Structure formats: C-alpha cells, structure tokens
Amino acid sequence: AQSVTQPDIHITVSEGASLELRCNYSYGATPYLFWYVQSPGQGLQLLLKYFSGDTLVQGIKGFEAEFKRSQSSFNLRKPSVHWSDAAEYFCAVEPGGYNKLIFGAGTRLAVHP
C-alpha cells in the first residue's frame, strides 16, 4: 500500500536559519508529489508540486523541494526561515494520477526569534 512518512513531528529553528523537512514515500512507480502548509485554523495551501522533469522544484514563499528517486524522498527546503513560516507542513503523494492524495502525518515547525 502507498504511504508517506514524515519522520520529524516537531522541528524548531531560529529565524534566518536554513530548513529541511523530510518526506519519504512508498509507491511502486513515481507518484505525483506535493507539499502543503497549514497555518493554525486554516486550510491547506499548496507550496509546490512535482509531476515529472526537473527534480528540483521551486514553490511559493521561497520554498523548494528535491525529488530523489533512489531514496524515495521529496524533502522540502528553505535557505532562510522567517517567523511567519511557523506552521504545519504536510507531504502528500497522489499515486498515478488517481486523484487520491495520501498525506504524511505532518511536521510542525516552530521558529525562534
């Protein structure tokens, strides 16, 4: 069965520091891959997506993610974190375009001033 693992439940970084959130998926082929962000009391906002092609994907708010087929990973990165980035981040896969998103458990990011 398809699954998504986000190993880190909570991460705390200082403002201005770099960030990497990990995501691993289990699927036989290359799925569609997504990162969403959820601020408190809000819905999920799409940060970026990968379907094919260039394995380094740029998203909104200065985020990027790199797809590594050999590691079944799709890690999210940001070179310099801002206090407003504090939120929960979800990695998701859509196996083979079946339109069924499978979400990871999420990583809650705290940013220290």
Contacts with another protein by CB under 8 A lie at 32, 34, 36, 41-46, 49, 51-52, 90, 97-106
Closer CB to another protein, residue 52 or residue 70?
Answer: 52
Closer CB to another protein, residue 59 or residue 111?
Answer: 59
Question: 104: closest CA among 29, 10, 36, 4?
Answer: 4
Closer CB to another protein, residue 41 or residue 113?
Answer: 41
| Phi, psi for residue 70 in degrees, rounded to 5 | -65, -25
Cα(112)–Cα(101) distance, rounded to whole angstroms? 32
Nearest approach in angstroms of CB 58 to another protein is 15
Nearest approach in angstroms of CB 68 to another protein is 20
Closer CB to another protein, residue 105 or residue 110?
Answer: 105
Nearest approach in angstroms of CB 56 to another protein is 17
Cα 76 off chain centre by: 5
Nearest approach in angstroms of CB 79 to another protein is 24
CA 107 to each of CA 20, 32, 56, 79, 97: distance values in angstroms, whole numbers, following the listed order: 11, 20, 21, 18, 25
